[in-house]
Each structure stands twice: as structure tokens, then as C-alpha cells.
């Protein structure tokens, strides 16, 4: 019997946070896809300190397998998608790594294989995006980010992606702490491709409050860290303050020359209020920059893992 399965070792890294109702079905689909198409593969579930029975469901699924291996990376506390996925990718040993940031039921076997096949054509990073889903908030964020970031490749909404081992090594060489994987992938200098696919599932993704908060913080930090919006805003405010100062100076000189009584108490107070407002806005941006730098260097430089369970 001829074995037509792929010889490359592939790793599937799946982010899991409070997905007890979806994770078992998703793992079944991923395992069947990999089993049907690859000789060697591994599945890594990154449990971001789930508060429900997600881990129990993963173990139930693993008990139903024969020789396949599923690894659970248990984060010590909730650390968000980026750090958690970094932990999973660091542990992966595959020639290619599939990254699933969420448990999506609309991903079909054909789409996964199409993404892998495209990667074999010379693209080190291939992402898949549903044509039938449109999140307005994400669309606005990516438009702003792409306009002001100056990245080599435009970033966009992605359902999942596949990364070659060369791309992983390249990104790791760029920095010890990958704060936003999409940006590092876009700037690594390797060829990327975005594959669009159709789906009948047009439901909007639902995130719990903790995940929504984490995503908002990631978006804000990414805009400040990877774009020049803060810098441009600071420069604009500085110019406005200079113009306002010059106008106040000219006004003072004119009043002095014509010898009219100075009744500028209200104007002075308004100017001082406006000046302090601009000053504090600029200081807020500077403080935010300092906060991100401190977090990168000292607080969030490493993810924290509680345990790793290899199930077979």
C-alpha cells in the first residue's frame, strides 16, 4: 500500500481559554485532518488558566485516541493570546506550525491543506481569512495600523495561519519577546500569503470580558508601540501650543503699544487651561510609552507556565 501522506512533521498549536463546549469538537476535526494527511504530527493545547472544564474535555478527547499525542501547556495565570501562543510555539518541534488563536468551527480540512500546500510553494507564512466574516472594529484597527505603522506587509484579520520553521527561527532572532506576532511576521522579510476561504458560518466571534479587555490592551499597545500615531499627536499638540503662545505674545504687544487697559484675566485663564491640557495630553503619551517599555523589559519579558502534561 502506497502512503501518500506528507512526510513533513507538523505541529498544531491551539489557544484554549474557557472553551469547554467547543474544544472537543475542534480537536476531533484537527486530529482527523492531520491524521489523514501527515505521517507525523503533534497537537499542543495552550490552556490559558481556563476557569471551566476545558482541560477535562481535552483529556477526554485524548483518552479516545490510539497512538496520537496531545500536549497541554498550562499557563500559571491568565496571560492572553500572544504570550500563551508564544509558549506553545516555543514547545512545538514541527517543520511547520499551525497556529489557531481561537477554536473556530468553520475551518474545514480542505482549507487547512490549502494553506499548507501554499506554504510549500515558497511562502513561509500563510494565513487564512474568512470572506464571510466582517468585524467592523477589527477593520478600523487594521486600517489605522497599516497606515501609520510602515510594516512591509499589511496585516489583517486571520482565522489561523501556518508558519515554517525558518520563519519561526527568523522571528526569534528578531527579538526575545514577541509582543504581537502578526507584526513580527509581517516584518521578518520572508514571503507571506493570505488565503481567502468561504464559510457558511457567519456568526460573530464571542469573547468573554477578560478576553475583550486583553484584546483592547493589545490593540492600544500595538498602535503606540508599532506606529507613529503618538509621536504625530505629540508634535501636533506642540505646534498648536507654540502657535497659541505666539498669538498670546502678539496680543500682549498690541495691547501694550496701543495703551489700552489690559482686561485679559479671562483670556489668560483660558490660555493657561489650554496649555495645561496640551501638556498633560503629551505627558500621558510619554507615560504610556514608558509603561510599555517597562513592561517589555521587566514585566512581560517571559511567559509563565505552571505545568506541561503530555497525554498519549
Residue 120 belongs to a domain: yes
The reported pLDDT for the residue numbered 301 is 45
Q: Do residues 307 and 262 both lie within one domain?
A: no
Report the percent of the chain where pLDDT is more than 90: 34
How many domains does the chain fold into?
Answer: 2
Whole-number pLDDT of residue 89: 93
Instruction: Report helix, strand or coil for 210.
Output: helix
Same domain flag for 290 and 307: no
The stretch 187-211 carries a mean pLDDT of 75
Q: Tell me: the pLDDT tens digits for 293-306? A: 755 654 454 555 56
pLDDT digits (tens, 9 = 90+) for 72-97: 999 999 988 888 999 999 999 999 99
Judgement on whether residues 51 and 96 belong to the same structural domain of the protein = yes
Considering the domain architecture, whether residues 141 and 17 belong to the same structural domain is answered as: yes
- pLDDT number for residue 44: 96
- pTM assigned to the model: 0.76
Q: Determine how β-strand 41-47 pairs with β-strand 70-75.
A: parallel
Residue 118: which residues within 8 A CB-CB, separation 6 or more? 126, 193, 195
Between 76 and 213, the higher pLDDT residue: 76
Is the pLDDT at 194 greater than 80, yes or no? Answer: yes
Give me the percent of the chain exceeding a pLDDT of 70.
77
The per-residue pLDDT of the chain, averaged, comes to 80
- Considering the domain architecture, whether residues 135 and 20 belong to the same structural domain is answered as yes
d(C-alpha 42, C-alpha 310), whole Å: 11
Structural domain harbouring 168: 10-208+303-311
Amino acid at each position: 500500500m502506497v502512503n501518500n501522506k506528507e512526510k513533513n512533521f507538523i505541529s498544531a498549536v491551539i489557544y484554549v481559554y474557557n472553551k469547554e463546549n467547543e474544544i472537543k469538537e475542534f480537536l476531533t476535526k484537527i486530529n482527523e485532518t492531520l491524521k489523514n494527511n501527515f505521517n507525523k504530527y503533534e497537537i499542543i493545547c495552550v490552556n490559558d488558566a481556563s476557569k471551566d472544564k476545558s482541560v477535562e474535555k481535552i483529556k477526554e478527547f485524548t483518552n479516545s485516541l490510539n497512538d496520537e499525542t496531545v500536549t497541554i501547556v498550562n499557563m500559571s495565570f491568565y496571560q492572553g493570546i500572544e504570550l500563551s501562543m508564544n509558549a506553545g510555539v516555543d514547545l512545538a518541534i514541527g517543520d511547520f506550525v499551525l497556529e489557531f488563536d481561537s477554536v473556530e468551527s468553520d475551518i474545514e480540512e480542505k482549507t487547512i491543506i490549502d494553506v499548507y500546500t501554499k506554504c510549500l510553494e515558497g511562502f513561509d507564512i500563510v494565513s487564512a481569512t474568512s470572506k464571510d466574516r466582517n468585524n467592523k472594529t477589527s477593520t478600523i484597527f487594521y486600517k489605522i495600523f497599516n497606515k501609520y505603522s510602515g510594516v512591509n506587509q499589511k496585516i489583517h484579520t486571520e482565522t489561523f495561519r501556518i508558519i515554517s520553521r525558518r520563519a519561526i527561527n527568523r522571528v526569534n532572532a528578531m527579538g526575545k519577546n514577541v509582543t504581537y506576532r502578526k507584526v513580527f511576521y509581517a516584518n521578518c522579510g520572508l514571503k507571506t500569503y493570505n488565503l481567502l476561504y468561504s464559510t457558511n458560518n457567519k456568526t460573530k466571534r464571542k469573547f468573554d470580558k477578560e478576553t475583550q479587555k486583553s484584546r483592547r490592551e493589545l490593540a492600544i499597545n500595538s498602535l503606540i508601540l508599532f506606529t507613529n500615531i503618538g509621536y504625530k499627536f505629540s508634535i501636533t499638540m506642540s505646534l498648536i501650543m507654540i502657535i497659541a503662545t505666539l498669538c498670546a505674545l502678539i496680543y500682549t504687544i498690541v495691547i501694550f503699544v496701543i495703551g489700552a487697559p489690559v482686561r485679559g484675566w479671562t483670556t489668560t485663564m483660558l490660555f493657561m487651561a489650554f496649555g495645561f491640557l496640551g501638556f498633560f495630553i503629551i505627558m500621558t503619551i510619554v507615560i504610556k510609552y514608558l509603561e510599555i517599555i517597562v513592561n517589555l523589559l521587566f514585566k512581560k519579558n517571559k511567559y509563565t507556565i505552571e505545568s506541561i502534561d503530555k497525554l498519549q
